[in-house]
């Protein structure tokens, strides 16, 4: 069964550094998402992406964040200058299309900012 | 999106049916009920969704009341691997625009050996 994959599984970085989290959505999916979950808190929506542009973003997704689909398979989340409060699990999700369709999530990347 | 209310936690004996309730009294006509679960800190796993009819798949059954104000997720024969946080989410099923999932705190289901 096709799955969403994410790399790395764990990323440790210093405050102020740039990080890129990578996702490979399911191959025939057209809608892509990033969510995050701070330890002990709810899963929060960050951004949705379709047809090479952002379709919606949350208040969390400020100018420090960007997303890109650099080729036909990868979907990336970049944090330009990480802060301590960016430490969280980051989940990528994708969905195909159509009226009755659902989002499938990857296993997540644990980002630790020191 | 309509708000959902779920119990904070539940226990179920291994091998028994686990029945997880969800209240969504403000659901509107174009909103579907989705269930996901999260095992430890893994990515949320899709379980099932429905609009107004009862649904069943290989993982679970979803029973939606006639007035659609509440639903129950049923895991027919719970195993230890079903221990997880279960999220009930309502959202419009549209092919454009607002497709985000809004997660609440869910129900922490513990399967007891």
Choose, out of B44, B48, B95, the residue to mutate when testing the contact with A (most A CBs < 10 Å): B44
CB contact under 8 A, A91 and B98: no
Q: For residue B96, what pLDDT is reported?
A: 56
DSSP notation for A43-67: EEEEEEEETTEEEEE-TT--TTEEE
A10-13/A109-113 β-pairing: parallel
Cα separation values, B33 from B3, B9, B100, Å: 11, 20, 14
CA closest to B100 among chain A residues? A45
Q: Do A93 and B34 contact (CB within 8 A), yes or no?
A: no
Give the integer Cα–Cα distance in Å for A3 and A114: 31
Q: What is the pLDDT of residues B46-84, one digit of tens each?
A: 999 999 989 999 999 999 999 999 999 999 999 999 999
Q: Which of B41, B49, B99 sits opposite A89 (nearest CB)?
A: B41
Each residue of B13-33: pLDDT tens digit? 999 999 999 999 999 888 889
């Amino acid at each position: 069964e096709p799955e969403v994959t994410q790399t790395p599984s764990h990323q440790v970085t210093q405050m102020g550094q740039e990080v890129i989290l990578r996702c490979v959505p399911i191959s025939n999916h057209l809608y892509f998402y990033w969510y995050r979950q701070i330890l002990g808190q709810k899963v929060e929506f960050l951004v949705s992406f379709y047809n090479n542009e952002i379709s919606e973003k949350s208040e969390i997704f400020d100018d420090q964040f960007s997303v890109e689909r650099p080729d036909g398979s990868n979907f990336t989340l970049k944090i330009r200058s990480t802060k301590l409060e960016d430490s969280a699990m980051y989940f990528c999700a994708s969905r195909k299309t159509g009226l009755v369709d659902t989002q499938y999530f990857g296993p997540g990347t644990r980002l630790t900012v020191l | 999106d309509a708000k959902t209310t779920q119990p904070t936690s539940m226990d179920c004996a291994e091998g028994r049916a686990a029945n997880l309730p969800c209240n969504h009294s403000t659901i509107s006509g174009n909103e579907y009920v989705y269930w996901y679960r999260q095992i430890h800190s893994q990515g949320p796993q899709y379980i099932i969704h429905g609009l107004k009819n009862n649904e069943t798949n290989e993982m679970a059954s979803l029973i939606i009341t006639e007035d659609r104000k509440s639903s129950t997720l049923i895991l027919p024969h719970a195993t230890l691997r079903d221990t997880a946080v279960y999220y009930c989410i309502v959202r419009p099923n549209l092919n454009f625009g607002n497709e985000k999932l809004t997660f609440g705190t869910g129900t922490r289901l513990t399967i007891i050996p």
